[in-house]
Amino acid sequence: MLEIKKEIDKLIADLTKYNYSYHSKDESLISDEEYDHLFKKLIDLETRFPQYKNPQSPTQKVGFQPLKEFTQATHFIPMLSLNNIFSDMEETTQTVRHQELIQFDKRVNDTLEATASYVATPKYDGVAISLIYIKGILHQGITRGDGFIGEDVTLNIKTISNIPKVIHITPLPELLEVRGEILIKTEDFANLNINQDRLGLKIFANPRNAAAGSIRQLDSNITATRPLYFFAYAITQIVTDTKFTTFYEQLLYLKKIGFDIGDLPKECKDSQELISFYEDILAKRNNIPFGIDGVVYKVNNIAAQEKLGFVLRAPRFAIAHKFPAQMRESQIIDIQIQVGRTGALTPVARIKPVTVGGVVVSNATLHNQDEILRKDIHIGDFVFVRRAGDVIPEIVNVIIEKRSTNAIKFVMPENCPVCGSHLVKAEDEAIIRCSGGLYCSAQKKQAITHFASKLAINIDGLGEQIVEQLVENKLINTIVDIYKLTIEQLIDLERFGKKKANNLINAINNSKSTTLNKLIYALGIRNVGEATAKSLAKTFGTLENLMHAGLVELQQINDIGEVVAISINDFFSEEHNQDIINQLLNLGITYPINTSTSIFNPLVTGKTFVLTGTLTNYSREEAKTLIENLGGKVTSSVSKKTDYVVAGADSGSKLDKANALNVKVISEDEFKQLIA
């Protein structure tokens, strides 16, 4: 019996960990199918051995505690979970295959002493949310949380375009609480990840995690950029003269006042119609434009729902019928590296072809090196494969007991497999990137489009579509090739007449005269935006000076920390990038050189100055300009962060404060020596 208790305790600990990760960190440590299997096993053991039942067990709880970063909000009516049933799809007869569903229907009918009818709806794979309206106006949005207390995410909810902010109907409810699911549609999720990759940001593992992370952003402006969508599935509270007899009437009411309830909900008169609904939706699953992982059945009559009531964590009148796992076993033949448009390296497993969810899969993403290490993946391993969010195939886990002694541990390459440039990895990122941004052919479209953009070199007419056309026709391979294009090459292309070709060549020639900050920005150095490019241009004066700057010099510049300095240093240390820059300059790219800018003055660059009193050789503005041209900063007040106080004649309280704080005080002559 002690072994049984140990097994129960381990299941509780593991499921609690998985729950916390899923509900609080929006990360799935195991697949839904694995979780359901463990959860069902725990219920079975607790039923057979009730003496070991623990009040902290996940079977006694809903969700997880809300995050402290959000204001907490209490659910007036608890936001409970649903019990699950499964079908044994290996069985040949429906009666045996859907035994759990038939038993659920029998329990309901026995309790009601009548034959129940139901409403069947999809089980959305998203984030449950409760919306509260007061006199028709959206008042509050609350996450599930632990079922009793959730997170107030009202500002984020209001950024979702298909959630009504105001309800118009007569009579207008004094109070209305609508519950539903926030998700990201399949196509929108694919486009979101394409954009994330283009911007060099985190790639989301699946739509559910992306939706959960988006709705729990502390900055609602970020939430507003995510393609979130809301499906309503229930009215929990309503204060109105309108009366409802059935749950289906409530759904139609929600549709009437502006909520999307989807086109899949259906009234079913008995268990056979529920089975038909399940089989139909399961067959259509891969063609539904959003993620679902099962269907939900609810007793239709509201009075019957009230009679059936609730158990501890779930209603007796509703149940979730989960779909079978869309996972299949396969073997990893090889692991190869793909280089994305932003230089991000993604390991991809080449697997023995296997059908998953109706689609033949031969490749599966491994995300990054950390993921490979965490899952202990080797070449030659037998693995379970699933379609994450029904879109991107991924490796769920390794079948360790099948590992051969010939399995090969995978090691990331030291250089880019496309161009041979060295690889870089920021401390706070899991992604490894190619440093050959100007040279690497995998990044060429992105690099060329950015180089020609308005805020960079500004070649009018050389947008993303034209760049793609020129690359596909092998007329340009790097940014250098832009300046080798001829009118004769262009007029042979589709949609290019003589006038358009002539205009583009003129724009290319005009772009040769630019400014240093625009040229630096155009190079596409990671973490270097417009403002940083201006600071670099102002400090170093020429591109040559910048190319030879070391990490210490770079970090002396205001607002440039270690991460940005390393990005700049890595970029210019790559010989391929140096070669491209030299070719650009030889082809006639020019910019005005700021003769007042020193290469680098370690006594001034990055230092903070305060000017006080009357200076003999400089006006206050002239002294300030000299300091700023050398990368220093001038402030009006003295603090512990001040490096120098330049004291002229008749210095006053600022000099006294500098002495009190032991800040270095220099004369005008010492200042002249310093800036020299």
Contacting residues for 283 by C-beta, under 8 A, at least 6 apart: none
Distance CA 495, CA 488 (A): 14
Overall size of the chain counted in residues: 676
Strand locations in 485-595 (E): none
Contacting residues for 420 by C-beta, under 8 A, at least 6 apart: 436, 576
Is the peptide bond prior to 173 cis by the omega test (within 30 degrees of 0)? no
Pick the catalytic residue from 123, 322, 444, 538. Answer: 123
Residues 353-376 as b or e (16 or more Cβ within 10 Å = b):
ebebbeeebeebbbbbbebbeebe
Strand locations in 47-117 (E): 72-74, 84-85
Q: Three-class SS of residue 40?
A: helix
Residue pair 533/554 in contact by the 8 Å Cβ criterion = no
Q: Tell me the CA end-to-end span of the chain in Å, nearest whole number.
A: 84
Residue pair 130/141 in contact by the 8 Å Cβ criterion = yes
Residue pair 359/370 in contact by the 8 Å Cβ criterion = no
Distance CA 129, CA 142 (A): 6
Q: Decide if 123 is catalytic.
A: yes
Distance CA 137, CA 168 (A): 9
| Strand pairing category for 608-612 and 633-634 | parallel
Count CA within 13 A, CB hemisphere, residue 303.
4
Strand locations in 80-126 (E): 84-85, 118-124
Nearest CA among 331, 398, 399 for reference residue 361 = 331
Cross-strand pairs, 649? 614
Which residues are marked as active site?
A: 123
